[in-house]
Chain A
Amino acid sequence: DAGVTQSPTHLIKTRGQQVTLRCSPKSGHDTVSWYQQALGQGPQFIFQYYEEEERQRGNFPDRFSGHQFPNYSSELNVNALLLGDSALYLCASSLNPSGQPQHFGDGTRLSIL
């Protein structure tokens, strides 16, 4: 039973560029949440997708956007990258929007030069 998978594992970009991160949820899960984990910090909630719509959003600017596909996989897009966007981006899936606990992938390490 595959857990949550994320790609790529590592990514290096320069300021001003755009990036797309991908996530496949655990089998049987239909809800995907994205988190940003800066070095030395806990995960910060970006947004949650369910039924291909953004259901909840954290305190992140519009440069952060997402999408969910009919197979429940999801993408996180970040435009106009800033140095401060350097972080580990975690995807978590759950049985439904209120489902707990969430199951996390191993993340994508994004470095901005």
Chain B
Amino acid sequence: AQSVAQPEDQVNVAEGNPLTVKCTYSVSGNPYLFWYVQYPNRGLQFLLKYITGDNLVKGSYGFEAEFNKSQTSFHLKKPSALVSDSALYFCAVRDMGGGSYIPTFGRGTSLIVHP
């Protein structure tokens, strides 16, 4: 079975400060990890993914994520937050060793960037 946890319902950060949105996962095999962003009344937009290779993955809009196998984490980061980054962020995982191609999504973390 595969699962993902986003321990924070909401993250507040001041504009210009670094931000981190946390994600931990559980899979039987190797993980295929994703981050998506959702703006109000919109669908999910892909930010970045990790399959193998460098543990630091760079994505869209200046976001990056750090894969940590020992801690089974895949935290989303950005060096300097923008007010326009305020949105709902979803982490997702797919077990590369499983028979299903379908990722499991977390419950989401609301990011609020204050001016």
Contacts and interface: CB of A to CB of B under 8 A. Distances in A.
A98 B49 CA distance: 14
Contacts of B92: 42
Interface string A65-108: 00000000000000000000000001010000110111111110
A105 B43 contact: yes
Given A41-B108, A100-B49, A100-B94, A90 B44 contact: yes
A104 B108 contact: no
Q: Interface size for chain A: under 10, 10 to 19, 20 to 34, or 35 or more residues?
A: 20 to 34
Interface residues of B, number: 22
Chain B facing A: main interface SS: strand
Contacts of A109: 41
A100 B32 contact: yes
A68 B36 CA distance: 26
24 contacts: A4-B43, A33-B102, A40-B107, A40-B108, A41-B107, A42-B106, A42-B108, A43-B105, A44-B105, A45-B104, A48-B101, A48-B102, A56-B100, A56-B102, A92-B44, A100-B34, A101-B34, A102-B103, A103-B46, A104-B43, A105-B43, A106-B41, A107-B42, A109-B41
